[in-house]
């Protein structure tokens, strides 16, 4: 196989636009802002990523600070960090004040502590305090995801006052999410919510407390991002308010950040389920050694666990010597346990993530996986027996004079191994969660490792019973 030829139709448009943008930057930097005005900041970010690194700061300077900030928000993390660290703290601060507070906090988190501190000192005090407060939250918590730009009004003002406030904010060009208004009581506690569409439709002059919904879905700042995602998905929200333990409004998480959080969570889960640590960076950009570090730990741990198969096999060395035919089916049998375990563990990990099953359902799940495992084991057992009988009859392989007994040993072992695999695979996520670990760590390789040793023991035990007096 040779590497594929570069395919123009597949190449991102950004790379094609980048040279044009560079020419424009050379010829008439003043017109760059105007010429790119209609581009979505995300697309402009792609173009910026395609031009030489040493021109990026110059290009950003040719845009308005607000526009440059938007482009930065969509840019590749690594490049953004580089650009900001080469800028003066003052220039960087000018861009960062234009960002939404949550994005600003995230961007600063990527920089070295010195660079971040320098930029923070150049940011006006009010914005700086907000940013520092946001940075104090865990990145994966509701507090770490929230923005402090939101609209809240006292419950005593009227619908028209509230509407005037919204329009004023919109005219000022502020960054707040305007489509949901939060209503607070005299103590500043979250007491209601109303969507902008409901506000537009509400009779003017009515106090807000009469039109707002009293039941407000909210999360505390320390809540995990998976909780934020669950509430957003279940209640079809476009923003989730974040409160402190006195129900005072601290900020809100907007739906676009929820989607990003869902995707990151899913990436982590899938990587853990593949039997490694979550990379926390894209596969395409993570450094080679960092990636190896994330993979080698689990791989070595699984390998050490799997060494017990060598110990178990050594325990049956005499049996293998006397009946070598038994060794032939070891990989077939243990892999079947691993495969059925992989199915069960994937089902349960996902059902847990979707809250379809909780810890207390373990018994109900076990009572479902037991018959499922037995049935699946019988299916494989029948196929296995048929395979051996047919191969022997057609003369493909010689399994010796006791081939019917060998076939029976394989068939019966499969029932045991697949049943054990399904049970282990389904129970491991419960056990991990109970012990405070992420159930997604119950990877297919982890389950297979647990099941392989047992598979060997089941197989040779069945053989000992059925073949005693003949082969053994």
State which of positions 257-296 bind a second copy (CB under 8 A).
Answer: 258-260, 262-263, 266-267, 269-271, 273-276, 279, 282-284, 288, 291-292, 295-296
Site for a second copy in 104-123 (CB under 8 A): none
What gap in Å lies between CA 239 and CA 97, rounded to an integer? 22
Least distance (Å) from a second copy to the CB of residue 125? 27
Under the binding rule (CB under 8 A), the answer on residue 204 touching a second copy is no
Sign of CA dihedral 353, 357, 361, 367: negative
Q: Which stretch binds a second copy (CB under 8 A): 25-33, 56-64, 136-144, 196-204?
A: 196-204
Helix (H, G, I), strand (E, B) or coil at 141: strand
Out of 408, 420, 452, 467, name the contact with a second copy by CB under 8 A: 452
Least distance (Å) from a second copy to the CB of residue 2? 8
Report angle CA 296, 452, 402 to the nearest 5 degrees: 145
Least distance (Å) from a second copy to the CB of residue 79? 15
On whether the CB atoms of residues 197 and 180 are closer than 8 A, the answer is no
Residue 287 phi, psi (nearest 5): -65, 150
Task: Spell out where 124-218 has E strands.
Answer: 150-154, 177-184, 190-195
Binding track, positions 15-44, relative to a second copy; x by CB under 8 A: -----------------------xxx-xx-
| Torsion, CA 267, CA 75, CA 290, CA 273, rounded to 10 | 0
Q: Which stretch binds a second copy (CB under 8 A): 18-26, 52-60, 138-146, 232-240?
A: 232-240
Q: Which stretch binds a second copy (CB under 8 A): 80-88, 167-175, 182-190, 460-468?
A: 167-175
What gap in Å lies between CA 79 and CA 282, rounded to an integer? 14
Least distance (Å) from a second copy to the CB of residue 227? 15
Nearer to a second copy, 129 or 270 (CB): 270
Out of 197, 248, 280, 437, name the contact with a second copy by CB under 8 A: 197
Contacts of 86 (CB under 8 A, 6+ apart): 57
Out of 233, 404, 464, 465, name the contact with a second copy by CB under 8 A: 233
In terms of Cα–Cα distance, which of 174, 176, 175, 194 is closest to 184?
Answer: 194
In terms of Cα–Cα distance, which of 412, 413, 414, 423 is closest to 450?
Answer: 423
What gap in Å lies between CA 413 and CA 380, rounded to an integer? 10
Residue 238 phi, psi (nearest 5): -105, -5
On whether the CB atoms of residues 443 and 275 are closer than 8 A, the answer is yes
Site for a second copy in 344-373 (CB under 8 A): 345-351, 354, 356-358, 360-363, 368, 371-372
Nearer to a second copy, 76 or 85 (CB): 76
Sign of CA dihedral 161, 163, 168, 169: positive
Site for a second copy in 36-95 (CB under 8 A): 38-40, 42-43
Under the binding rule (CB under 8 A), the answer on residue 186 touching a second copy is no
Least distance (Å) from a second copy to the CB of residue 425? 9
Least distance (Å) from a second copy to the CB of residue 344? 8
Binding track, positions 301-330, relative to a second copy; x by CB under 8 A: -xxx-xx-xxx-xx--x--xx--xx-xxxx
Least distance (Å) from a second copy to the CB of residue 7? 6
On whether the CB atoms of residues 137 and 143 are closer than 8 A, the answer is yes
């Amino acid at each position: 196989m040779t590497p594929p030829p570069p395919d123009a139709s597949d190449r991102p448009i950004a790379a094609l636009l980048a040279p044009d943008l560079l020419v424009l930057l050379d010829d008439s930097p003043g017109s760059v802002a105007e010429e790119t005005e209609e581009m979505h900041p995300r697309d402009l970010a792609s173009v910026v990523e395609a031009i030489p690194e040493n021109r990026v700061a110059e290009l950003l300077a040719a845009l308005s600070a607000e526009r440059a900030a938007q482009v930065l928000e969509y840019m590749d993390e690594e490049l953004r960090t580089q650009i900001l660290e080469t800028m003066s703290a003052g220039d960087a601060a000018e861009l960062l004040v234009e960002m939404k507070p949550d994005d600003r906090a995230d961007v600063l988190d990527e920089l070295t502590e010195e660079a971040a501190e320098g930029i923070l000192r150049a940011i006006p005090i009010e914005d700086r305090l907000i940013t520092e407060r946001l940075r104090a939250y865990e990145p994966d918590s509701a507090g770490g995801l929230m923005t402090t730009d939101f609209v809240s009004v006292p419950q005593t003002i009227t619908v028209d006052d509230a509407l005037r406030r919204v329009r004023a904010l919109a005219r000022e060009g502020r960054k707040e999410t305007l489509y949901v208004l939060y209503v607070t009581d005299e103590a500043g506690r979250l007491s209601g919510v109303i969507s902008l569409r409901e506000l537009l439709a509400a009779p003017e002059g009515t106090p807000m407390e009469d039109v707002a919904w009293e039941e407000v879905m909210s999360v505390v700042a320390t809540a995990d991002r998976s909780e934020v995602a669950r509430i957003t998905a279940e209640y079809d929200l476009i923003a989730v308010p974040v409160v402190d333990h006195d129900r005072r409004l601290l900020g809100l998480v907007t739906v676009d950040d929820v989607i990003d959080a869902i995707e990151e969570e899913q990436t982590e889960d899938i990587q853990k389920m593949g039997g490694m640590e979550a990379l926390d960076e894209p596969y395409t950009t993570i450094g080679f050694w960092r990636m190896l570090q994330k993979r080698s730990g689990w791989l070595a741990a699984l390998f050490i666990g799997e060494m017990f198969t060598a110990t178990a096999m050594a325990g049956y060395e005499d049996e293998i010597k006397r009946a070598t035919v038994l060794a032939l089916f070891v990989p077939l049998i243990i892999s079947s346990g691993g495969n059925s375990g992989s199915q069960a563990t994937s089902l349960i990990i996902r059902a847990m993530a979707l809250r379809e099953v909780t810890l207390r359902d373990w018994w109900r799940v076990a009572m479902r996986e037991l018959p499922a495992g037995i049935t699946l084991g019988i299916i494989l057992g029948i196929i296995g027996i048929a395979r051996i009988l047919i191969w022997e009859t057609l003369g493909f392989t010689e399994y010796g004079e006791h081939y019917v007994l060998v076939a029976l040993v394989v068939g019966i072992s499969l029932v045991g191994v697949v049943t054990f695999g399904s049970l282990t695979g389904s129970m491991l996520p419960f056990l991990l969660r109970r012990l405070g670990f992420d159930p997604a760590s119950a990877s297919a390789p982890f389950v297979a490792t647990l099941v392989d040793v047992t598979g060997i023991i089941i197989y040779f035990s069945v053989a000992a019973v059925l073949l005693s007096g003949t082969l053994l």
